[in-house]
């Protein structure tokens, strides 16, 4: 997860309709001040967050430059949520695999490797495994090498997003020792 998504998620979860400060978001998102400040300026420029006030903090030591507390408010929760949402790239190997699965209805892993132009067989196997765990495809018969697969739930022309699903699969395999 990138820093913008981390900070945006922290804002939406903790302060959807409230005023919040830079320091509060730093603590929640566990990021450093410069990075948080840079992301906030980006969000302000895009009109997603608005600065409400800038207050000078009391000086800690004589001769130190002044420091400020900035307070912000979200201008549009929907726009911020769209901005931090993961974006799918188009015409990737998973896109081509999904297109082939939808058109053929019955296929093998070898078919997908050849027709999609996947650089590695493991890419196809990983994507098929994620789709199987999501309940989108299933093997015909017992399974095994060269097994036929079928589409059981067509979720539309855009490929299913399997990013978080794939992470859960890997964690589950790691715990189970697979």
Say how far apart CA 97 and CA 118 lie, in whole Å.
Answer: 9
DSSP character at residue 12: H
| pLDDT for the residue numbered 177 | 46
Q: Where are the alpha helices (DSSP H) in 30-162?
A: 33-45, 77-84, 93-104, 109-116, 121-134
CA dihedral 83, 88, 89, 91 (to 10 degrees): -150
| pLDDT for the residue numbered 51 | 85
Q: What is the mean pLDDT of each run of 10 residues along the chain (178 residues)?
A: 80 82 84 86 87 79 76 85 78 88 90 90 89 90 83 85 59 49
| pLDDT for the residue numbered 28 | 85
Tell me which fold the domain 3-84 belongs to.
Arc Repressor Mutant, subunit A (1.10.10)
Which pairing describes strands 106-107 and 149-151: parallel, antiparallel, or unpaired? antiparallel
Tokens matching residue 112: 């997908």
Domain with CATH 1.10.10.10 in the chain: 3-84, 93-176
- Residue 8 CB: number of other CB atoms within 10 A? 23
| pLDDT for the residue numbered 167 | 53
Say how far apart CA 10 and CA 8 lie, in whole Å.
Answer: 5
Say how far apart CA 159 and CA 14 lie, in whole Å.
Answer: 31
CATH number for the domain formed by residue range(s) 93-176: 1.10.10.10
Say how far apart CA 117 and CA 81 lie, in whole Å.
Answer: 34
Which pairing describes strands 106-107 and 137-139: parallel, antiparallel, or unpaired? unpaired
| pLDDT for the residue numbered 176 | 47
């Amino acid at each position: 997860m990138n820093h913008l998504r981390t900070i945006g998620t922290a804002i939406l979860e903790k302060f959807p309709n409230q005023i919040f400060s830079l320091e509060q978001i730093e603590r929640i998102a566990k990021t450093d001040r410069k990075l948080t400040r840079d992301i906030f300026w980006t969000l302000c420029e895009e009109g997603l967050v608005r600065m409400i006030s800038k207050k000078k903090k009391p000086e800690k030591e004589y001769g130190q430059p002044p420091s400020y507390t900035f307070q912000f408010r979200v201008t549009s929760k929907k726009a911020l949520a769209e901005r931090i949402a993961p974006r799918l790239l188009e015409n990737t190997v998973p896109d081509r695999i999904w297109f082939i699965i939808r058109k053929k209805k019955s296929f093998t892993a070898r078919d997908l490797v050849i027709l999609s132009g996947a650089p590695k067989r493991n890419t196809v196997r990983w994507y098929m495994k994620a789709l199987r765990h999501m309940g989108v495809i299933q093997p015909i018969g017992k399974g095994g090498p060269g097994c036929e697969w079928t589409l059981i739930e067509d979720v539309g022309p855009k490929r299913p997003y399997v990013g978080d699903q794939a992470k859960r699969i890997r964690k589950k395999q790691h715990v189970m020792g697979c």
